[in-house]
Amino acid sequence: MQHLLWLIPAFPFASAAVLALVGSRLSRRAAAWLGSASIGLSALVAILTAAEFLQAPPAGNAWVQHLWVWMDVAGFRPEVAFYFDPVTLIMVLVVTFVGFLIHVYSVEYMHEDDGFARFFAYMNLFVAAMLTLVLANNLLLLYLGWEGVGLCSFLLIGFWYKEPANVRAANKAFLVTRVGDTAMAIGLFLLATHLHTLDIQELMRRANDQWPVGSGIAIAAAALLLGGAVGKSAQLPLQTWLPDAMAGPTPTSALIHAATMVTAGVYLIARTNALFILAPPVQLAVALIGASTMLLSAFSAIAQRDLKRVLAYSTMSQIGYMFLALGLGAWSAALFHLMTHAFFKALLFLAAGVVIQAMHHEQDMFHMGGLRRQLPLAFWSFVIGGSALAGLPLITAGFFSKDLILWQAWSGPNGNGWFWIAGLVGATMTAFYTYRMILLVFYGPAKKELSYKPGLAAAIPLCTLCVLSLLGGYVDTPPDFGGVPALSNFLNSVLPPLNEVHIGPITEIVTAICASAAFVIGFGFAYFVYAPWRRSEPREDLLLRLWYSGWGFDWLYDRLFAAPFRFVAKRSASDRVDSIYGGLATLTDSISMGLRVTQNGRVRWYATGAAAGFIVLFAVALFVR
Amino acid sequence: MLNLAVILFALGLIGLLTRRNLIFTLMSVEVMLNAAGLAFVAGSYRWGHPDGQVMFLFILAMAAAEVSVGLALLLQFHRREPTLDSDTASEMKG
């Protein structure tokens, strides 16, 4: 299978091309089959490849497939080549498998939409770009996939482009991530000029040989790459685009803005980990960014009314956990959480899609209620996905991955009590907003008639993701519980392992007990405030309003960047030079308005003109000598 | 004779400029053409040169062609509009 790596991104890419070119002529059934089957085939190839890889791990723990040389300029020779190692394996499996389930679900969700084929073309192109990103052997090809997923994100957020708000959200997402992408591009230039290659493995080797730990150049390169990761993964300070990105169709939110694309930043940092190890201040910044994003967006999630925005803030918060883990050197824990998060967050988004469709596209949770008996499938999906998100101890995937991060936030070489406490506070908040959401949507009196019941194409992905959200954590259970950390061992064959240096008063068991306590506190508090018989209308006060607006970052950026730009643009639009050209245009305009009057369409008027002109010419010829 | 040509031309021009009925417009154009022809004949007579009379034959032939085209246009126009008023044909005004 090692020579068939190229097939994994090729299937979705080919079907995206077909759908884009002749999609409007295909029937819905054909478009749905083509769109989903391509991802299914891709997933099949990925599973077979992974199985072969696991059976007989190759030397160096990686397969490389060279396809062709992209360009060859003055010694700079990036190839189109795919690299397959344990990290890629996890990412490819998550992208293809979760992507396939979401495509199947979309067949039902988008059933009545006019842009059915267009939707599948964009989604397939996204999966192709995402697979290019994770399979890329060099940073240039990775950047191609990186921009490709950004483009598809833009296209899918603005999928219903007739609504101006959606277009604005798409533009915002594109522009804000562009800030990070520009930083990343500069980072690539820096690496290419100093180390003369962009091949990731070679780059890491040369960086290790040539740059000492903490050298300025390593710090600059790592910081620039971090900029790209922060933009794509919606972390502070470039996080403002993600809540607005919920304007897209719900399967899009599930695939792009929860399970895969937004975790590309985590993948990038894990992939270039050697560079970050060379730059300890940047690595600390990663941890700080992760911890603060986790806390700030968890508080924001508490105050939201829109079901999808709660999930968006929750996504930012969970990616914050991953960044925290990356910053502390817990590389495999970050990828573990990435995987479980992809399962349960995709599940939550798809279930939210069912709820929203059943509620006549109502998204305000305070207008919902009592859906527990009406939509049992969505209810159980929410309970399972939400419990995994909140970390229900021992039986959900989210508990194990979050617990590992918390434990390593203490025990790792960079770990300390503050990160540990921040993680626990985040876990409490997570449980609180998750159960607030479930209590608001599914309990209490029913408020509306349903307009939709989920069919088979929605039920199969939901059930599969439910199973994964419950069992996905058992691939890596802590030794202290008598388990086997299989995934960590597997990933640590290519990622630097974490040395547990702090084994002080807090042990793994204590961490697990504290995490369970955090879950119970969050759950109990949510029940205390939002239980059906206590529920009241949402309160309005300054703090809640601040959280509702995402800590006012939109307002701040509008004042800091947009307003001065608008001011300068307005000033420069009315300066002297401009008034010359503007004056010319006005002059031409008024002359043409004057001349227009003569073209009145009356033939006698034209004859008069011709006669008068002739008389004038005749007079000139006669009398002017 | 040249004076007569001038008077004829002026009459034709005034008719062209004042009448709105397309048949009269066409007739005025004919009058003007004939005035021009008369001027050619007058010139030919004055200088004893045959070119002017040859030119009049050309004008005659052209006038016949012009009238046939003009009448065909007029018929088409009348089929589209129940009138012969030239001012109604002003859809192309700026």
pLDDT at A534: 65
pLDDT at A621: 92
Cα A386 to Cα A402: distance, rounded to the nearest angstrom? 14
Option in B86, B92, B94 nearest A596 (CB): B94
CB-based contacts of A241, cutoff 8 Å, min separation 6? A169, A172, A173, A176, A177, A234
Cα A159 to Cα A30: distance, rounded to the nearest angstrom? 21
pLDDT at A613: 93
Option in B20, B25, B90 nearest A601 (CB): B90
Q: Do B90 and A600 touch (CB under 8 A)?
A: yes
pLDDT at A479: 72
Cα A445 to Cα A442: distance, rounded to the nearest angstrom? 9
**Tokens representing residue A523 in the block:** 């759950």
* pLDDT average per 10 residues of sequence, chain A (625 residues): 82 90 84 89 90 82 84 83 88 91 88 85 92 90 92 90 89 90 92 86 87 86 91 87 88 87 90 88 90 90 87 91 88 89 91 86 80 84 89 83 84 80 89 88 78 81 88 78 75 76 71 85 84 66 78 84 88 80 91 86 84 92 85
Cα B32 to Cα A130: distance, rounded to the nearest angstrom? 81
Chain position carrying tokens 């899609």: A353
Q: Return the number of CB contacts < 8 Å for A and B.
A: 35
**Tokens representing residue B63 in the block:** 């006038």
Option in B17, B20, B86 nearest A608 (CB): B17
Closest CA to A529 of A431, A601, A401: A431
Q: Do B17 and A602 touch (CB under 8 A)?
A: no
Q: Do A604 and B86 touch (CB under 8 A)?
A: yes
What pTM was estimated for this model as a whole?
A: 0.79
Q: Do A601 and B91 touch (CB under 8 A)?
A: yes
| Tens of pLDDT, residues B54-63 | 999 999 999 9
Q: Do A603 and B89 touch (CB under 8 A)?
A: yes
Q: Do B93 and A611 touch (CB under 8 A)?
A: no
**What value, to the nearest 5°, has the Cα angle with vertex A381 and ends A375 and A386?**
125
Instruction: For an interface test with A, give the residue of B11, B32, B87 to mutate (most A CBs within 10 A).
Output: B87
Helices and strands of chain A, counted as H and E runs: 27, 2
Which residues of chain A make contact with B13, given a CB cutoff of 8 A? 611
In 3-state terms, what secondary structure has residue A111?
A: coil
